Amino acid sequence: MKILILALLLLVPTISYSDAGISVGYRSMSATITKNKSITPKNYYDTVNGVYNRTINVTTVNVFFDDSLKGHDNKGGEKDSIWPRWIRPSKGAGYIAGLNFSYGAEEGLVEYYSTDLYIGKRYFIIPHMLHAYFKIGPSLATFNYDMVTRALSYTKNVGGFYNLGFQVMVSKGIKFFGEAEFRAYSTASYDEFNLERNKTQFNNVLPGWANNYEETTSPKKLRKHIEEKNWGRSLITDGIRFGLKFTF
């Protein structure tokens, strides 16, 4: 609650100077899940023990305030600009801030919730049409390991993330984006009920450098698995977030 109040105090005064909006994205996040006990709706008495290399399917809703911490990069000389207002180089390339709310799950193993607060910077490649950007900030996450009674096995962890991305204008007020993200959380929890010592660790990878999702232990099989993976498919399965941004 304190984090949300602080975020509002930082962001609300800047809304009138920003390009605000909402984005929705999907990412398949590579993770290593250590599960010593799992109770599932299928059979309350099933136990699953082991270490699993899986991908957690995560949906993220982002509330963003672009150009909020500072105005556009270069407001001087706009009156004499040769560019039409909607494609001026100074428009749409500036400092950014926002909040992320994420939810993901891997059936029978873990549920993941997180809230992120970030700042960053955008740079134009093609004025107004194509931008590159980065974001960085802290994150609070909850991992639930009991699929029936969530209060019986959970951890709450502090962490951080940064990502590099691009966005392309689809039409006025709508942009398509892609992001490569690196995320980690502390091994110690600030709140937990976790007698089985379950844990989840995200494996930060780029396309073409995937971990072994098929749970083979042989280095030879792992190399073969990586070499045979289709690069285009790995854009989706190895952690690139894709989505749409809607500007108010």
- Identify the band that residue 46 occupies on the pLDDT scale cut at 50, 70 and 90: very low
Note the pLDDT of residue 222: 46
Spatial distance between the Cα atoms of 113 and 98, rounded to a whole number of angstroms? 17
Contact 147, 135 (CB under 8 A): no
Spatial distance between the Cα atoms of 85 and 172, rounded to a whole number of angstroms? 13
Higher model confidence: residue 73 or residue 139?
139
Higher model confidence: residue 36 or residue 186?
186
For residue 223, the surrounding DSSP H or E stretch is helix 219-228
Spatial distance between the Cα atoms of 199 and 138, rounded to a whole number of angstroms? 20
User: In a 3-state reduction of DSSP, which class is residue 85?
Assistant: helix
Note the pLDDT of residue 217: 43
Tokens of 158: 């502090």
**Single-letter amino acid code for the residue at 11:** L
Residue 16 reports pLDDT greater than 50: no
- Identify the band that residue 170 occupies on the pLDDT scale cut at 50, 70 and 90: very high
Contact 23, 64 (CB under 8 A): yes
- Identify the band that residue 43 occupies on the pLDDT scale cut at 50, 70 and 90: very low
The pLDDT tens digits of the residues spanning 98-136 come to 999 999 998 888 999 999 999 999 888 887 789 999 999
2-247 — its CATH code? 2.40.160.20
User: In a 3-state reduction of DSSP, which class is residue 17?
Assistant: helix
Q: How many CB atoms lie within 10 A of CB 231?
A: 9
Higher model confidence: residue 65 or residue 46?
65
Higher model confidence: residue 172 or residue 205?
172
Note the pLDDT of residue 118: 96
Residue 240 reports pLDDT greater than 90: no
Share of the chain above pLDDT 90, in %: 33
**Region 2-31 average pLDDT:** 69
Share of the chain above pLDDT 70, in %: 63
- Average of per-residue pLDDT values in the chain: 75
User: In a 3-state reduction of DSSP, which class is residue 11?
Assistant: helix
Residue 243 reports pLDDT greater than 90: yes
- Identify the band that residue 80 occupies on the pLDDT scale cut at 50, 70 and 90: low
User: In the chain, what are the helix, strand and coil shares in percent, each to the nearest 5?
Assistant: 15, 50, 35
pTM to 2 decimal places: 0.73
